[in-house]
Structure formats: C-alpha cells, structure tokens
Copies of this chain bind each other. A is one copy, B any other.
Amino acid sequence: MVDISRGSALGTSGASELFQLLRDGRPRTRAELATVTGLARSTIATRVDSLMALGLVSPVGDALSTGGRPPSRFALNPSARVVLAADLGASHATLAVTDLSGTVLGELREAIDIASGPEAVLSWMVEAATTLLARIDRDHDELVAIGIGVPGPVEHSTGRPVNPPIMPGWDRFDVPGWVQQHLQVPVLVDNDVNIMALGERAFAWPNAEHLMFVKIATGIGSGVISSGRLQRGAQGIAGDIGHVQVARGVGIPCHCGNRGCLEALASGPAIARDLRKAGIDVATGSDVVDLVKRGNIEAIQAVRQAGRDIGEVLTTAVSLINPSVIAIGGSMARAGEHLIAGVREIVYTRSMPLATEHLAIVQSSAAENAAVLGASMLAIHHALSPEGIDALATPAR
C-alpha cells in the first residue's frame, strides 16, 4: 500500500513548479530549471535523475554536447505513464484516462447516483477504469495515480469526505483505502470546486498564480489558488462562499439554517423560485438558462441580479486574495454574459482600482471539462512530486 497521507497535504511547491515547467513539453537544461523554480541545482539534478530513471523525463538531443557529459536538456515524456481522473457528481460521473500532460486518452460519462453510497459508486469507478484502460490499450501497470473529485467537503490529507450533505453513506469513508484494494496507486480526493480551479488553471491560465474559480449551480462554491497553490484552509473548507450573507438576502431562509445566504439568492434553484413567484413557469436552474437563451427578459434580469449578489461577495474576495483571474463556471454559467455582467458591475464599482486594473472576470473556458481535467492535475502533481517519484521508484505493491 502506498502511503499518500503526507505528500498531498504538504507544500511541495518547488516540485509542482518543476512539473508545471516540464508539462509544456519544452526541453530545458538543469540550470534553467534551477533558475526558474528557485530550487537548488543539486535538488534539480537529483530530481531529474529520478525522473529519467523512471522514463518520465527523456534527454533531448543536443548537437553541442560532448563525449562523456550527461545530456544537457530534458523534456517530460508525457506518454510514459497514465493517470485516472474521476469527476463524481450527484447524478452523473465522468471518468478519463490522461497522459502526464493532462491530454485525455479515453473518457466515459455515465449516470450514477452518489447517494447509492461509496462502495457502489467506487465499484463502478474501478470497473469502468478497467474498461477504459483496455479500450485505449494501456496496462494497469502504467497507471501511476488516481484523482477523484466529489460533490462535498473532503479532508484532503486523508481523502475522506466530511459531513457531505448530498452524499449519504460517504461521511469519513476511506476512499483512498477502498480504491487501493483494487488499484494499488496513490489516490487523491478533493471537492469538485477545488479540482475545477485546478482544471481551469491548467486549461486556460497556466501562468496565473492567483486564480479563483466560482461554481454557480444548485449550490455556490469556489476554489482558490493563491501563490500557485490550491488553498484549502484550516478545516479544508476555504472558498466555501455559498453561505456568506448578502445585502439583498435579509430574512430569506437558507437550507443551511441561516438566513440571507448567497446560495439562497443566486443559485439555480433560488433564481427559479424567484421567477416562479413572478408567475413564470420554471422548475430548475436549467430551465432558467433555457429561458435566458430564448431572450426572456425576466429571466435575464433575474440572472443579472444573481450576478450582482455574487459580485457583492467577490468584491471582498478581490480585496482579500487579489486574484488576477476569476473564472465563473457551473451549470448557471451557461447563462453567459448576463450573469458575468452582473458580477462585473458590482466588482468594478466597489473595488479599489489597483485590484481590478489587471483582473479578468470571465466565463470558465474549461467549462464541463474543468473537473475531470483538475482531477487529472491532482493525480499528476502527486505522481511527479518527490514522494510520488519515490513511490514509483520503490513500489510497495
């Protein structure tokens, strides 16, 4: 069994930077890697040697190199190994096998019921992974890590969901331990919004050190990347902005037991509820998006107001975190510019000019692929970290 409990929780930012650098496929010298990561040259040399011994990094021909000297430039060999990425939602799951650059080699999407409990869902996942690996003609031995996103809070250091409201039976369930009975590789688990932030960054903003991903769907949450690292906070719930109170919310009850929460005003169900009160026939957030797309003025106004409410909370986030990118995703983001316009209206009105001068507030580019891409990143980051590489070099399987 591979012990993943430490590495995933600790700061291995140097290793992550090394990986970020190599992930683009450009060959680099040891000296370049040392300069850009700020790691000691001896550290770089050791890391590159380990990666080469495992076939993860290959020397790249250099016409100027002489006789006995070691090859001077290296590039990631992304096809050397694969990772499994799973986005487990409330009612559907996406599973992908990607190479070490995050390129999807095979993918499947299926209806599941997260409420059927961890053993049912994870059994399906393990079987589907086998199917998927066979379909793309890769062996189980080539799998180096698994990243899983789930729709609830997760204690990241152990991979156990903690009091997840819509995941009955999953509370404190040892997801990595269970999966490792079938697939003996490190298993990283995180909540869906956190992995969406990782996926969005990898897909669209690889150089953004400070990025916030806001998911607006049945619930509202965010994933925060600061100084290039996903921030989880003391209890693992950093970014949980759905229950911040907003001005317009006075008195409106929220399912959390409090009143006036952002989620009680600006989530898909909340917008649908307000439109129903105005006599418009909508059942879900998805119906609202459809109405917006057909140009229904009430639906457009409601979505824009939701954007303003979200902007109220994001204004504080802009002051506190000072991100360069806020990406808006989740099913309600399909309402497009109307939602974003509301967010921008408030953030730009209320924030200090210096904080918004270079701030991009945009619709998610990775969109529905953000989560599975982020799960892949989570797995790759670990596989290429010092302890991931140690584990590969001395398999305890």
Interface 0/1 of A149-163, CB less than 8 Å to B: 000010000000001
Q: Which residues of B contact A319 (CB under 8 A)?
A: 237, 239-241, 243-244
* Interface contact B40-A240, CB-CB below 8 Å: no
A interface, size bucket: 35 or more
Q: How far is the CA of A322 from the CA of B13 in the complex (A)?
A: 20
Q: For window 168-224 of chain A, which residues contact chain B by CB distance below 8 Å?
A: 209-210, 222, 224
Copies of this protein in the assembly total 2
- A244:B358 contact, CB within 8 angstroms: no
CB distance from A42 to the nearest CB of B (A): 5
Q: Is the CB of A227 within 8 A of B11?
A: yes
Say yes or no for A324: interface residue by CB 8 A criterion. Answer: yes
Residues of B with C-beta under 8 A to A233: 210, 226, 321-323
Which residues between 5 and 22 of chain A lie within 8 Å of chain B, taking CB atoms?
A: 6-7, 10-14, 17
Q: Which of A33-74 contact B (CB under 8 A)?
A: 35, 37-40, 42-43, 46-47
The interface residues of chain B lying within 8 Å CB-to-CB of A322 are: 232-240
Cβ distance A141 to chain B, nearest Cβ, rounded Å: 25
Identify the interface centre among A222, A233, A247, A258: most chain B CB within 10 Å of its CB: A233
Complex CA distance for A240 and B315, rounded to whole angstroms: 11
Stretch at the interface among A110-118, A127-135, A348-356: A348-356
Chain B residue numbers with a CB within 8 Å of A324 are 234
Across-interface contacts of A209 in B (CB, < 8 A): 234
B358 adjacent to A234 (CB under 8 Å)? yes
Residue A297 is within 8 A (CB to CB) of chain B in the complex? no
A236: B residues at CB distance < 8 A? 322
Determine whether A229 belongs to the interface, using a CB cutoff of 8 Å to chain B: yes
Contact with B along A304-328 (1 / 0, CB 8 A): 0000000001011101111110000
A323→B43 contact, CB < 8 A:
no
A374 within 8 A of B: no
CA distance A6 to B40 in the complex (A): 13
Q: How far is the CA of A6 from the CA of B34 in the complex (A)?
A: 12
Q: How far is the CA of A321 from the CA of B240 in the complex (A)?
A: 9
Q: Tell me whether A245 is interfacial, beta carbon within 8 Å.
A: yes
A137 within 8 A of partner (CB): no
Measured between beta carbons, the chain B residues less than 8 angstroms from A228 are 11
A195 to chain B, nearest CB (A): 17
CA distance A387 to B41 in the complex (A): 11
Min CB gap A171→B, angstroms: 13
Cβ of A14: which chain B residues have Cβ within 8 Å of it?
11-14
CB within 8 Å of B: which A230-262 residues: 231-241, 243-245, 247, 256, 258
A313 vs B317: C-alpha distance when bound (angstroms): 10
Say yes or no for A386: interface residue by CB 8 A criterion: yes
Closest approach, in angstroms, between the C-beta of A335 and any C-beta of chain B?
A: 24
User: Which one of B37, B42, B256, B316 contacts A42 once the chains associate, using CB atoms below 8 Å?
Assistant: B42
Residues of B within 8 A of A39 (CB): 386
Evaluate contact between B231 and A226: CB separation under 8 angstroms: yes
- Provide the bound-state CA to CA distance between A35 and B47, in Å: 17
Once bound together, how far apart are the Cα atoms of A345 and B73, in whole Å? 59
Q: A240-B355, A243-B351 are in contact. List 5 more A-B contacts (CB 8 A).
A: A11-B38, A227-B231, A234-B322, A235-B322, A237-B354
In order of increasing CB-CB distance, the 6 nearest A-B pairs are: A233-B322, A10-B38, A11-B13, A234-B324, A238-B322, A316-B316
